[in-house]
Amino acid sequence: MDTFKKLKKFYWPYRKYFFTSLFFLLFVTAITVVYPIILQLTIDEVVLGDQYDLIPYISIGFLLLMIVKGVSTYFHQYLGDLFGITSVYKVRNRLYEKLQVLSFKYYDNAKTGDIMSRLTADVEGFRFFLSVGFAELIRITLLILFSLSVMFYYSVPLAVVTMAAMPFLAIVVFKFDKRVHPAFRGIRKSFGRLNTRVQENVSGMNTVKSLSREDFEIGRFSENNDNYRQNYLFTSNIWSKYMPFMEFIGNICVVALLAFGGYLVVSGNIELGVLVAFFNLVWYILGPLMNLGFVVNQFSQAKASGERLLEILEQEEHITEKENAVSTPIKGHVTFNNVSLTYVEDDDTALKNISFDAPPGKVIGLIGATGSGKTSITQLITRFYEPEEGEVLVDGRPVSDYQLKTLRSHIGFVLQESFLFSTTIRENIAYGNPDVTDEQIIDAAKRAQAHDFITDMPNGYDTLLGERGMGLSGGQKQRIAIARAICVNPSILVLDDATSAVDMETEFKIQKALKEVMKGRTTFIIAHRISSLKHADEILVLEDGKIIERGQHDFLLSNNGPYQRIYDIQYQDREAIMSVAH
């Protein structure tokens, strides 16, 4: 029950629904046990006792009981569902909130499909047990206790003989739970992997088709699907072994009842109606006990689901705010003092002793091979990660002194892979600043060289985009992302290969517009093209996480170092292409 104890804060506030549901369940169960008593009275008093005048009273009493049971059943089921649905509403919200505050360190290893599985299938599995499983367990307990009470009232010897095999049934149910829980956890994990495979395939469909890897993807999905099937079959095998054994023990109880009960009737120790009532009552015990396997099934699924939910809810938050974190406006003065960063423990260092100073209005260019640490520098400014050594300062304060929302709201990002949401172009541009006016949206789009292609679209700025901006070219998506960053009006602007997906002419126009945007802002330009950052106030050349050269464009060209080699490669290639074209 540890899992349910840890999740108690989500469902305990709504216990009034649960206990009120149980109140009505008490009536439902008690009336159910009255059926055999009415049957016994009908046989012994009416039929065998020739008291036919009792029939109207028994009929009216039975009808009234049915009405009470019907009303009680409605309230029991509705309030039970209200308890479960309201509880998991809070769980689902808390999970989503947790996902928003988890750092990039968590998402570096997380699988999207698995996270989706936890927020859907696992939440639903936990809800079903809250709504039905808990109440069913109590219903079984009440039904057994009520039935046993009536049985012992009628005949203690017959009740003892009939119940002799019950402890063995309880032992079997306990062993069943011990085996079936790990099996259901395996099902949940394999379902998460299956979801991940589907999500990655759909997201990467362009790559799959362009490389003709459909058959390979079908094979990978089939492998995951088979793993899911095998886990389910393993669980089904456990179920198939234990259920007949439970039924066999139950039938032994029935045989004992018929044999000893028949003897008591013949010997005159009990009436025939009592034996008939006993026969019904014993199934009110055996049925729930065998149904206990299904409840254990639900409990095991809910427990496995709860454990997977707790893995997210209890996930360590690597990036947290101080209690006295400040929310003062940021001018954009960025300083790195001997900063080192390692993403994964015992892995290679991503940044090594990085130091530089970027006052407001300064443009810093970052260039180097893939994996040299360019993006890592900007991710430390926003506290997506924490440095192992050194400190990152903004306006003379460590970035950890700021409220995260304050810090990040003053930083505008344009990434190499621009992510757009499945909504209108207008809402995508205004995403970082919901209070922006239509005039400001259009102005930002013009500066980003996006206005013309937007107005050419069927609904202009109100055009709905597909998932991840489907329907737009890479260059169009980047220009919308640039307009979005402009609308944020940031003190610090980060352009991470922001013009890599546009042609040279559009790049020139965007850079011209961005010069106006960059005035007074601290700007970091990450680029592979020297043309994108040659006008920077300072260019940092990185290699293996270290700054190996720094300076302005002309100085670095005259330095005969790595920067000049990059320049020669890019411009020699361009000259070669131009000569071929002519």
- Judge whether residue 396 has pLDDT over 50: yes
Is residue 363 within 8 Å of 518, Cβ to Cβ?
yes
Mean pLDDT across 190-213: 71
pLDDT at position 580 is 42
Smallest CA-to-CA distance from 377 within 363, 390, 366, 389 is with 366
CATH number of 326-410+526-582: 3.40.50.300
Lowest-confidence pick of 37-41, 71-75, 357-361, 390-394: 37-41
pLDDT at position 156 is 87
Q: What is the mean pLDDT of the chain?
A: 83
Model confidence band, residue 572 (pLDDT cutoffs 50, 70, 90) = low
102 secondary structure, DSSP code: S
Round to the nearest angstrom and report the end-to-end CA distance of the chain.
77
Smallest CA-to-CA distance from 491 within 417, 394, 352 is with 394
Model confidence band, residue 205 (pLDDT cutoffs 50, 70, 90) = low
d(CA 367, CA 378): 13
Instruction: Estimate to the nearest angstrom the gap between the alpha carbon of 95 and the chain centroid.
Output: 6
Instruction: Write the CA distances from 370 to 70, 106, 343, 350, integer angstroms.
Output: 69, 22, 16, 12
Kindly report, as residue ranges, where domains of CATH 1.20.1560.10 are found in the chain: 2-313
pLDDT per residue as tens digits for the range 235-258: 888 878 777 877 787 777 778 878
Instruction: Write the CA distances from 76 to 24, 72, 245, 358, integer angstroms.
Output: 5, 6, 32, 66
Is residue 524 within 8 Å of 366, Cβ to Cβ?
yes
d(CA 27, CA 146): 12
Instruction: Write the CA distances from 443 to 357, 448, 487, integer angstroms.
Output: 32, 9, 9
The matching CATH number, chosen from 1.10.238.10, 1.20.1560.10, 1.10.3720.10, 3.90.1170.40, for 2-313 is 1.20.1560.10
Planar angle of CA 324, 521, 514, nearest 5 degrees: 140
pLDDT per residue as tens digits for the range 160-194: 887 777 777 777 777 776 777 678 778 877 877 78
Q: Which two tokens stand for residue 189?
A: 């994990």
Smallest CA-to-CA distance from 301 within 114, 129, 80, 117 is with 129
Helix 55-101 vs helix 15-41: angle between axes, to the nearest 10 degrees? 160
- Judge whether residue 578 has pLDDT over 60: no
pLDDT at position 250 is 74
Kindly report, as residue ranges, where domains of CATH 3.40.50.300 are found in the chain: 326-410+526-582
- Judge whether residue 568 has pLDDT over 60: yes
pLDDT at position 581 is 43
d(CA 502, CA 474): 7
Q: How many CB atoms lie within 10 A of CB 174?
A: 11
Is residue 125 within 8 Å of 88, Cβ to Cβ?
no
